[in-house]
Amino acid sequence: MLSDLDIFFGDANHAEARVYARLAGTDLPPGCTLIGRVVGPTCAYSQTLRATIPFAPRRPPAAVGASPLLAEAIVPDPCFWSQELPFLYAAEIELRCGGELRASVTRSVGIRPLGVRQRRLVWESRPWVVRAAEVREVPERPISQWRAADLAMWLEEPADETCRQASQLGVVLIADLTERPAQVADELRRLARWPAVAVAVLASGQPLEADVRNTARNLLLAERRGPEADFAPSPWADVVICEGASADAIAAQAGKINLPVVARRAAGWRDDPADVRRECDRLQRDLAGQGDFAGYVV
């Protein structure tokens, strides 16, 4: 009954963060409500005191055909999820109907302060430049090496186990969903559950309903544009990926867009973070003076 449960965060600052649990109520029996608690944080690289914060219902118990159930937990002095310190909380949720426990689930939550400001990406209100490489399969070397090199991994439909490891170890993931447009809604719901997944890449012109966007409200959505693209970004796009074989081709596209632009130049598959970083730096040098870019992908 909780397979469609969405857990997300809203307003977040260093004083407090609001975490929400939302469940569509159309198939629920009357008198249902969500309760639970947020416990944490924990971190692979740091120790801190753990707190327990209760979820409080923010809508009356559901009647048949009612609007979605909603519960809110206000986390004081939150610890954010970042590459340096990937703090995680556990959201323990119960669905109760007439006082009877009908289902329960525990989900990992990371409060990731990533957003968009004009043509820049910002992390905790500071400019953030993403550097990443396409990885066709999870490399044998520890993925923590990507964190050490301050790199993100671009993966096609990353598996849950990869997302779990990356969330624990502080590795940012960019999820490429361009090859399965019919499954985008389900994939966005799945990937939004993992703090490490910061960006989901969709094909140009991908149809996206408003309710689907709501299931992944903490994800940035990037629109992937090929070298011949000549149209305005889709309404859902937070970021645009401009691809090209040369720096000039990428720059020619980027100048027409008023969103953060990430430059992507295919450089062949690499699993050595040091090699990836060199290629990203080379792309950045090649594009110097040709525009303001929010990131580089090779």
> Is the same domain home to 262 and 189?
yes
Q: What is the pLDDT of residue 212?
A: 77
- Residue 128 resides in a domain: yes
> Is the same domain home to 194 and 100?
no
241: CATH? 3.20.20.70
Contact 194, 108 (CB under 8 A): yes
Burial 223-261 (b: 16+ CB within 10 A, else e): bbbeeebeeebbeebbbbbbbbeebeebbbbbeebebbb
Q: Which of 109, 138, 167 is the C-terminal boundary of a domain?
A: 109
> Is the same domain home to 284 and 169?
yes
| N-term to C-term CA, the chain | 41
Give tens-digit pLDDT for 184-217.
Answer: 999 999 999 999 999 999 998 888 887 777 778 8
> Is the same domain home to 132 and 276?
yes
> Is the bond into 181 cis (omega within 30 degrees of 0)?
no
Q: Which of 85, 109, 133 is the C-terminal boundary of a domain?
A: 109
- Residue 136 resides in a domain: yes
pTM of the full structure: 0.92
> Is the same domain home to 129 and 236?
yes
- Residue 1 resides in a domain: no
Nearest residue to 223 via CA among 264, 195, 168, 252: 264
> Is the same domain home to 28 and 136?
no
Q: What distance in Å separates the CA atoms of residue 164 and residue 160, rounded to the nearest whole number?
A: 6
Contact 275, 131 (CB under 8 A): no
> Is the same domain home to 162 and 246?
yes
Q: What is the pLDDT of residue 66?
A: 56
> Is the same domain home to 105 and 212?
no
36: CATH? 2.60.40.10
**Residue range(s) defining the domain that contains residue 24:** 6-109
Give tens-digit pLDDT for 117-136.
Answer: 999 999 999 999 999 988 87
Q: How many domains in the chain?
A: 2
DSSP string, 52-66: EEEEEESSPPBPTTP
> Is the same domain home to 143 and 211?
yes
Nearest residue to 295 via CA among 179, 124, 123, 177: 123
> Is the same domain home to 105 and 118?
no
Q: Which of 109, 126, 144 is the C-terminal boundary of a domain?
A: 109
- Residue 269 resides in a domain: yes
Which ranges of the chain have pLDDT less than 70?
A: 25-26, 59-66, 139-140, 227-231, 268-270
> Is the same domain home to 87 and 127?
no
> Is the same domain home to 205 and 283?
yes
- Residue 266 resides in a domain: yes
